Amino acid sequence: MRVHFAPVLIPAAVALAGTAFAGIPAGYYDPAAGLEGEALRAALHGIIDDHQAISYDAVWLAFYTTDDRPDGYVWDMYSDIPGGTPPYLYTFGEDQGGSAGSEGEGYNREHSWPKSWFGDQAPMNTDLFHIVPTDIFVNNKRGNYPYGEVSAPDWTSENGSRLGPCSWPGYSGTVFEPIDAFKGDFARNYFYMATRYYTEDAGWPGSPMTSGSQLLEWAEGMLIAWHLSDPVGAKELDRNEAVYAIQENRNPFIDHPEYVLMIYEPTGIEYPDEAPSLVAAAASPNPFSGSVGIVFTLSAPAEVDLTVYDVYGREVVAVLDDAAYCAGEHGIEWDGCGGSGEAVPPGVYLCRISVPGAASVCQVLKL
């Protein structure tokens, strides 16, 4: 039965650094060790390829374990309000399928990567990593529109998801924007699709967001931003395990969030031709124990940002924020401390240096 205005509070997804790798089988990612860029993407494709496909009817049953809330109701990311009271809740089986003239009348199987983008072919049409239960009415509103960001919505759902013209640079058509709490979830689902079907997308029609199975530049940049701003949480960790139990493959970008910036350069925004170019050198010394320096060269004056992230995509510290630099070679030092001045623990960190129109990421190891 549907439950409207239920007084149930669901805690926000919490990033759990200690459990992100708990369910990974020993040696699962060994073929990807030491790789980056296209070589890493190809290796990950080989690891997660040829999953155990299920029938379309079986997707309904899979939801019982892949998308169950802690209170037993359906976890619908188009209606949920983490930390608050959702406008309605659905019971597995009882409220599935059908049609709807408004929100709260039932849930269905949402292909977050729309079927028309891959020609409604197997095994993509039942791949659980991109299929989630969502409210029928909101799903119909989203339709086949790309995900995006909307500053002037034409329509807003009861949980705050928005439909309207895209405000992210590089695309201005109609898009659907999920709430911030789930943007990282959808971004990592898309990185999975681009990797699982890498080189297997002959005949895919594509979309305003994709070329075959690969993301267009504007979409790539936006999804990287979503990935960094909404780190992996408990919901995703649990879902990854549940899908693995059914399909026998995993989402590498949930298990290893650092893979995103090891494959993709976060430069997917279109800028005017006069935007300054950026050349960043490797950090030195690397590994380091006290502080590390990053050398970069600008072709023209620019405002520079330097942000350090941990391997889960969480911001550690903003070393520079719109700092003005002239053309030429420069060096920046990170003292190995976090935003509160405390020394960060040993481990791998990602230093992202950016100017309008360009960015570079280097990996450093603190001893």
pLDDT per residue as tens digits for the range 159-212: 999 999 999 989 999 999 999 999 999 999 999 999 999 999 999 999 999 999
- Tell me the CA end-to-end span of the chain in Å, nearest whole number: 55
Taking only the tens place, the pLDDT of each residue in 256-284 is: 988 998 898 754 333 334 456 777 667 88
Instruction: State yes or no: pLDDT of 14 exceeds 50.
Output: no
Bigger pLDDT: 176 vs 22: 176
Nearest to 158 by CA among 190, 133, 184, 134: 134
Taking only the tens place, the pLDDT of each residue in 304-339 is: 888 998 877 788 999 988 887 767 788 888 999 998
Quote the Cα angle for 73-230-211, to 5°: 95
Instruction: State yes or no: pLDDT of 253 exceeds 90.
Output: yes
Helices 56-66, 234-247: inter-axial angle, 10-degree rounding: 140
Residues in CB range of 167: below 8 A, 6 or more apart:
148, 149, 150, 151, 152
According to DSSP, the residues that pair with 278 across neighbouring strands are 298
- H helix or E strand, kind and range, residue 242: helix 234-247
Please, are residues 110 and 127 in contact by the beta-carbon 8 Å criterion?
no
Please state, in angstroms and rounded to a whole number, the distance separating the CA atoms of residues 359 and 286: 20
Helices 37-48, 180-196: inter-axial angle, 10-degree rounding: 80
Give the pLDDT score at 348: 85
Q: How confident is the model at residue 7 (pLDDT cuts 50, 70, 90)?
A: very low
Taking only the tens place, the pLDDT of each residue in 74-130 is: 999 999 999 999 999 999 999 999 999 999 999 999 999 999 999 999 999 999 999
Bigger pLDDT: 284 vs 138: 138
* DSSP string over 308-335: EEETTS-EEEEEEEEEEE-SEEEEEEE-
Bigger pLDDT: 322 vs 152: 152
SS3 state of residue 262: helix
- H helix or E strand, kind and range, residue 240: helix 234-247
Please state, in angstroms and rounded to a whole number, the distance separating the CA atoms of residues 55 and 296: 52
SS3 state of residue 220: helix
Instruction: State yes or no: pLDDT of 17 exceeds 50.
Output: no
Please state, in angstroms and rounded to a whole number, the distance separating the CA atoms of residues 212 and 198: 9
DSSP 126: G
**CATH ID of 278-366, from 2.60.40.4070, 2.60.40.10, 3.40.1160.10, 3.40.190.10:** 2.60.40.4070
Taking only the tens place, the pLDDT of each residue in 37-88 is: 999 999 999 999 999 999 999 999 999 999 999 999 999 999 999 999 999 9
The mean per-residue pLDDT over the stretch 284-296 comes to 88
Please state, in angstroms and rounded to a whole number, the distance separating the CA atoms of residues 16 and 312: 9
Residues in CB range of 322: below 8 A, 6 or more apart:
303, 304, 305
Domain boundaries, the chain: 3-21+28-263, 278-366
DSSP 176: E
Please state, in angstroms and rounded to a whole number, the distance separating the CA atoms of residues 48 and 141: 32
Nearest to 259 by CA among 36, 17, 14, 38: 36
Least confident of 10-14, 150-154, 215-219: 10-14
Least confident of 76-80, 151-155, 289-293, 323-327: 323-327
Give the pLDDT score at 158: 97
Please, are residues 240 and 254 in contact by the beta-carbon 8 Å criterion?
yes
DSSP 85: -
Taking only the tens place, the pLDDT of each residue in 333-360 is: 899 999 888 999 988 888 888 887 777 7
The mean per-residue pLDDT over the stretch 224-239 comes to 90
